[in-house]
Copies of this chain bind each other. A is one copy, B any other.
């Protein structure tokens, strides 16, 4: 076990930079192409580009990439022709931009990755320019469209591929959207019990962020289709065994950062999860352990008007019930669980070391 990791590991930094360069090439070509038709069309792609290129962890790209490298090396096939894999990494980051842009509308988040969100800057544009219509509706309209555009570009990056890769890509998008629906609905209906929180985390974090990028990267390795169906299934299952606990750890860390984090580092407002009443295991656990006085404080969760002082009081209760310490302990157990499964992955030993470093980062990151 390692200490709390401040900086992302080299395994993330390198592929993040290459993915970002690839994304910039793709989007700049689109900006040039559409600006020639009408500068207002180029402007739309430029707005999307600034969101896509803003600081992101590029975690999904990293999992996809290292799974591909490890599988190539395990199979003894070449891993130097990076064309398809960089497209897949770019696809994951474009899909993440799509998900975040739409998510920020649903949460009415003011900032993301340290920048004002698209729907807020575009609403502001209507006010500043004296345009007609309701600023909120315009801002959200533009954000819906730019998210949709990111989705279309993500899919274009995947393109025609093997049936195994395509099936994973289709399934992860369905899982992502249904997970989001369950999240939104259970927050509104306030029926977000612990099984619901786990289910949401499974879709949005374990599968979408970790398991599916790892599996998709593996299926892109030259030689993958030459493996027997049984061998392919073993590789897929072992990725899932490694990725599920890690995905849970990722989500629990996200939940902790959402209420305890430093918003200059997380890039999004702290307390937002409490204002929107997001169903998290942290809150569910605190609720189960609360005294009646503490429980009455927790009932304020989900009030969009919560003040900073009220949020501080709720955070105190999360600590006092022991929920924070227990969740920290649970994250450590889950990361250890994932570590124990690295050795079973059908990847070469050197990449197994990289995977272990990625697992540490996911569980112990500070943003």
A133 to B142, CA, bound (A): 23
- Whether the pair B106, A181 counts as a contact (CB closer than 8 A) is no
Q: Is the CB–CB distance between A38 and B188 below 8 Å?
A: no
**Chain B residue nearest in CB terms to A45:** B178
Asked whether A177 and B149 contact (CB < 8 A) given A133-B187, A138-B188, A190-B132, the answer is yes
CB of A285 closer than 8 Å to a CB of B: no
Q: Is A161 an interface residue (CB 8 A)?
A: yes
Mask of A74-91 contacts with B, CB within 8 angstroms, 1/0: 000000000000000000
Contacts of A142 in B (CB 8 A): 181, 184-185
Which of A166-174, A263-271, A317-325, A346-354 is found at the contact surface with chain B? A166-174
Contact B133 A188 (CB under 8 A): yes
State the copy count for this chain.
Answer: 2
A241 at the interface (CB under 8 A from B): no
Which residues 21-66 of A sit at the B interface, judged by CB distance below 8 A? 30, 34, 37-38, 40-41, 44-45
Which stretch, A150-158, A222-230, A247-255, A330-338, touches the partner chain B? A150-158
Q: Is the CB of B170 within 8 A of A152?
A: yes
Q: State the Cβ distance, A221 to closest chain B Cβ, in Å.
A: 18
Among the listed B140, B161, B187, which residue makes an inter-chain contact with A140, where contact means beta carbons less than 8 Å apart? B140
Q: Which residue of B lies closest to A189 (CB)?
A: B131
CB-defined contacts of A132 to chain B, threshold 8 Å: 187-188, 190, 277, 302-303
A323-367 with Cβ < 8 A to chain B: none
Asked if B131 and A188 make an inter-chain contact with CB atoms under 8 angstroms apart, the answer reads yes
CA distance A41 to B44 in the complex (A): 33
- Is the CB–CB distance between B163 and A149 below 8 Å? no
A residues 120-164 touching B (CB-CB < 8 Å): 126, 129, 131-134, 137-138, 140-142, 144-149, 151-153, 155-156, 159-163
Q: Knowing A126-B188, A170-B156, A189-B129, say if A102 contacts B148 (CB, 8 Å).
A: yes
Nearest CB in chain B: distance from A68 CB, A: 19
A155 interface neighbour in B30, B170, B178, B186, Cβ under 8 Å: B170
Does A9 make an interface contact (CB < 8 A)? no
Is the CB of A108 closer than 8 A to any CB of chain B?
Answer: yes
Q: Which residue of B lies closest to A190 (CB)?
A: B132
Which residue of B37, B133, B152, B166 is within 8 Å of A302 (Cβ)?
A: B133
A178 CB contact (under 8 Å) in B41, B185, B302? B41
Q: Within the assembled complex, what's the spacing in Å between the Cα atoms of A246 and B350?
A: 60
Complex alpha-carbon distance, A199 and B145, angstroms: 17
Question: Contact: B38 with A199, CB < 8 Å?
Answer: yes
A residues sitting closer than 8 Å to B (CB atoms) are: 30, 34, 37-38, 40-41, 44-45, 98, 102, 105-106, 108, 126, 129, 131-134, 137-138, 140-142, 144-149, 151-153, 155-156, 159-163, 166, 170, 173-174, 177-178, 180-182, 184-190, 199, 276-277, 302-304
- Supplied contacts A41-B181, A142-B185, 12 more A-B pairs, CB within 8 Å: A38-B182, A44-B178, A98-B148, A105-B144, A147-B148, A148-B148, A148-B177, A149-B181, A151-B151, A152-B177, A160-B162, A160-B166
